[in-house]
DNA sequence: TCCTGGAATTGAAACGATTCAATCCCGGTG
DNA sequence: CACCGGGATTGAATCGTTTCAATTCCAGGA
């Protein structure tokens, strides 16, 4: 495999000059640059990442920890997120390293190994918990990171989040505008930070619309289609009246719609349904699901931009991205 | 950050000895090893990946190319695959580098950059097309790789695949055993290699059961829930009689079930439905979907094992993994 | 013609590991 | 008691870059 010396020899210059051309980090006569570039192309030369990393002290690699044990993320939303992150990384000539971790306890060791071994320059945290041990660990080890989601009470750290509260307020307002007064709300356990914020948005939406919060309309269930299905069935079988339903995620909303169908109530006609995320399946549901889209591209770009700043030692501002209400037929 | 010299100094030995301990690649007195290990722990030392890579000439990193443009993979199946790959990599102390690529034409450049720069030791190919330009490129550049899926007519290369044909034969036999004679089949375009094999399995299954292949029961449609839905509606509206339906993927089967429901025919009672993949959602469908499970763990392990062999210059045997019929209520 | 000064180029020293060859150590043998 | 042999240890070279400091080059001014 060609090295920088080979290129230098072929172009009749020194390795230093080649390096300057490569990174344009030094003065090079246009004509010389030309010759070097030609040599590079002819040899099909690509700089050795390890050597570069060794000298530069950065690997230009983003670390993403993906839990795979109990906490495994199976919401298709995460596939979209990975796509978006990949794209955003590519735009900045960064690579994306996926480290999976079965065991939450091993998370911290994994983080250390990757960072201290300089395999990655910093991390992107997803799937945040309200109490997340990774955050204090990263903070006190001085490892750069950006979180997808906010957590309170952990001091300052950079994050990017979608404004779940705003989204839910908008959803409630939208439903109220259509005359709904009894709006059920399906949530996963509030220990998920995003669930907490979305729920708060629902409550605020009710207040803004002068509607009471009713315990009976509020259900906590699992973060799956099945969860949405069961909660909705419970709602129906208990005879709690409601004309609209908001689910904290599309997957749950899909489950809810299934339960409504089975009970002979047509979503979008008899009961309005709104989800959150806008996973690809939402548009294909029957009826197509009205939902709050998480703008993936924007999220990916914001995460990577913030990550870069953090890695460069800045303390970048956090970003709160508004979700977009996508009106379809379910509400 | 601590280096190998720091460890050496602290343990009162030379860097060479530390290296021997680290890789146990040399004779070290147990007592010395003990001292070195202690020093490592005390300093929280982790070897520098770049330096190591430079010297060893491998990066212990698996490259996975994820298309993100038109060809973007949105089937939740791929999220499961990524999980499984991550786990399998972790078992072998490998890292998984995800490179995304919007533009199919840029694939090859990306591959070269990653490999020649020694960022990865080889690739895992997913989303194979019948005619896949990546394969000849990798082959003639001598870059190690393993494909998830088979392609004909490209000479020999190592792959891991799930035996779609066997799965579909089994599905047909199972349905026939339950008395079905008119079995519809929903397929994505046969240019997807997996679609081709699964379809062949369906045909063989019919032959083995002495049933005719009927054009009217065979539908090609898009690889989404929507696709399954539309094809099934067409089937129903055309009045083609059938008592069972096989879809090439769970996602399509889910769409089909939706169409059946809407037409007032209960899947699992009026019409048997079988899918393929066993994505998490399959178990949560209504009724729960009978399907052919792709054993993800096994796939991940086989891919990584084969990849390791390929990277070590062996020409490892390919692996054909039988899918597992998961009986649920839809058939 | 000789200087001068800035631009272009180069040599050589890192970066942090691995590994070959050389040295050291030590108990056992002759 | 000298010597031997093999295990344990070490020194130094090396992997392929980047970058500082030194050198060369060259046009323009005196």
Instruction: Please give the mean pLDDT across all residues of chain A.
Output: 94
Q: Is residue B233 helix, strand or coil?
A: helix
Domain that holds residue B264: 164-293
Q: How does residue A249 score in pLDDT terms, banded at 50, 70 and 90? A: very high
Domain of B30: which CATH number? 1.10.260.40
Q: Is residue A52 part of a domain?
A: no
Pair (A189, A250) in one structural domain:
yes
Which pLDDT band holds residue A325 (cuts at 50, 70, 90)? very high
Report the candidate in A69, A66, A68 with the shortest Cα–Cα distance to residue A81.
A66
The edge-to-edge listing of strands for the beta sheet with B183-187 is B218-220, B183-187, B244-247, B272-277, B290-293, B324-326
B284 found inside a domain: yes
Per-position b or e across B116-152, b if 16+ CB within 10 A of its CB: bbbbbbbbbbbbbebebebbeebeeeebbbbbbbbbe
Write down the pLDDT at residue B166.
Answer: 98
Q: How far is A221 from chain B (nearest CA, A)?
A: 14
User: Could you tell me if A226 and A317 lie in one domain?
Assistant: no
List, in sequence order, every beta strand (DSSP E) within chain B. 61-67, 95-101, 122-125, 145-148, 159-162, 183-187, 218-220, 244-247, 272-277, 290-293, 319-321, 324-326
Structure tokens of B81?
A: 């695959």
Do A202 and A134 reside in the same domain of the chain? no
User: What's the pLDDT score for residue B68?
Assistant: 78
Which of B80, B89, B117 is facing A49, going by the closest CB pair? B117
State the Cα–Cα distance between residues A166 and B103, nearest whole angstrom.
35
- Give the pLDDT of residue A73: 83
Asked if A189 and A265 sit in the same domain, the reply is yes
Do B219 and B185 meet the contact criterion of CB atoms below 8 Å apart?
yes
Q: What is the pLDDT of residue A176?
A: 97
- A22 in contact with B, Cβ within 8 Å: no
**Residue B142's pLDDT is what?**
94
- At residue B89's C-alpha, the angle toward residues B88 and B93, to 5°, is 125
Q: For residues B207 and B277, state if they share a domain.
A: yes
Task: Give the residue-averaged pLDDT of A260-273.
Answer: 94
Q: Report pLDDT digits (tens) over A188-232.
A: 999 888 999 999 999 999 999 999 999 999 999 999 999 999 999
Instruction: Give the pair of three-digit tokens for residue B141.
Output: 């550049």
Angstrom distance (rounded) from CA B193 to CA B189: 9
Residue B38 contacts A, CB cutoff 8 Å: no
B157 shares its domain with B171? no
Give me the sign of the Cα torsion angle A80, A82, A86, A92.
Answer: positive
CA B196 to each of CA B183, B201, B218, B289, B295: distance values in angstroms, whole numbers, following the listed order: 18, 9, 13, 22, 20
**Same domain, yes or no, for B274 and B179?**
yes
Please write the tens of the pLDDT for every residue from B108-154. Answer: 999 999 999 999 999 999 988 878 889 999 999 999 999 999 887 77
Chain A CB within 8 Å of residue B98 CB:
yes
Token pair for B208: 């083995």
Cβ distance A284 to B86 less than 8 Å, yes or no, reads no
Q: Quick one: A278 and A215 in the same domain?
A: yes
Q: For residues A194 and A187, give the distance between their C-alpha atoms in angstroms, rounded to a whole number.
A: 10
Query: How near does any CA of chain B get to the CA of A114, in Å?
Result: 9
Kindly indicate the confidence band of residue A128, based on its pLDDT and cuts at 50, 70 and 90.
Answer: confident
* pLDDT value for B107: 87
Domain annotation covers residue B327: no
For residue B190, the model assigns a pLDDT of: 92
Could you say which of A47, A74, A112 has the minimum Cβ distance to residue B117?
Answer: A47
On whether any CB of chain A is under 8 Å from the CB of B101, the answer is yes
Do the chains contact at B112 and A44, CB–CB below 8 Å?
A: yes
The reply to whether A54 falls in a domain is no
- B80-92 residue pLDDT tens: 999 999 999 999 9
- Give chain B's domain count: 3
Which bases of strand D have any atom within 7 Å of the beta carbon of a protein residue?
Answer: 7-12, 14-21
Q: What is the CATH number of the domain that holds A225?
A: 3.40.50.2300
Q: Are A151 and A128 in contact (CB under 8 A)?
A: yes
**B289 shares a domain with B184:** yes
Q: Judge whether A184 and A246 are in contact, CB under 8 Å.
A: yes
Of A1, A50, A261, the CB nearest to B59: A50
pTM (predicted TM-score): 0.94
DSSP at A102: S
Q: Encode pLDDT of B166-205 as tens digits.
A: 999 999 999 999 999 999 999 999 988 899 999 999 999 9
Q: Are strands A145-148 and A183-187 parallel, antiparallel or unpaired?
A: unpaired
User: What confidence score (pLDDT) does residue B64 get?
Assistant: 96
**Which of A113, A281, A285, A329 should we substitute to test contact with B (largest number of B Cβ atoms within 10 Å)?**
A281
In-domain check, residue A104: yes
Same domain, B213 and B280: yes
- Answer yes or no: are the C-beta atoms of A209 and A173 closer than 8 Å: yes
Q: Quick check: A170 pLDDT over 80?
A: yes
pLDDT for B153: 75
Residue nearest to nucleotide C13 (CA to C1'): A55
Cβ atoms B92, B308 nearer than 8 A: yes
Most A-contacting residue of B95, B115, B124, B264 (CB-CB within 10 A), to test interface: B95
Specify the range with the lowest mean pLDDT, choosing from A97-106, A250-259, B218-227, B265-274: A97-106
């Amino acid at each position: 495999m060609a090295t920088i010396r080979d290129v230098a020899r072929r172009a009749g210059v020194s390795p230093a000059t080649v390096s300057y051309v490569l990174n344009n980090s030094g003065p090079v006569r246009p004509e010389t640059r030309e010759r070097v570039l030609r040599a590079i192309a002819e040899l099909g030369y690509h700089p050795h990442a390890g050597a570069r990393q060794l000298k530069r002290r950065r690997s230009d690699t983003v670390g993403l920890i993906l839990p795979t044990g109990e906490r495994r993320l199976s919401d298709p939303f995460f596939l979209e997120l990975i796509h978006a992150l990949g794209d955003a990384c590519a735009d900045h000539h960064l690579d994306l390293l996926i480290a999976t971790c079965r065991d939450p306890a091993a998370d911290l060791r994994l983080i250390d190994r990757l960072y201290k071994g300089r395999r990655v320059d910093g991390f992107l945290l997803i799937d945040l918990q309200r109490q997340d041990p990774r955050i204090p660990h990263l903070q006190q080890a001085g490892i750069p990171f950006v979180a997808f989601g906010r957590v309170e009470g952990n001091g300052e750290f950079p994050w990017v989040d979608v404004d779940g509260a705003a989204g839910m307020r908008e959803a409630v307002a939208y439903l109220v505008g259509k005359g709904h007064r009894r709006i059920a709300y399906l949530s996963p356990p509030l220990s998920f930070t995003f669930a907490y914020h979305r729920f708060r948005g629902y409550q605020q939406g009710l207040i803004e619309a002068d509607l009471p919060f009713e315990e009976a309309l509020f259900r906590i269930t699992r973060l799956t289609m099945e969860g949405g299905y069961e909660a909705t069935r419970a709602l129906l079988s208990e005879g709690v009246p409601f004309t609209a339903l908001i689910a904290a995620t599309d997957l749950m909303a899909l489950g809810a719609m299934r339960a409504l169908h089975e009970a002979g109530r047509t979503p979008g006609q008899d009961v309005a349904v709104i989800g959150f995320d806008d996973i690809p399946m939402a548009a294909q549901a029957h009826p197509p699901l009205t939902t709050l889209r998480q703008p993936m591209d924007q999220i990916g770009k914001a995460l990577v931009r913030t990550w870069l700043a953090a890695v460069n030692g800045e303390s970048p501002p956090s970003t709160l991205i508004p979700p977009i209400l996508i009106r379809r037929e379910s509400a």
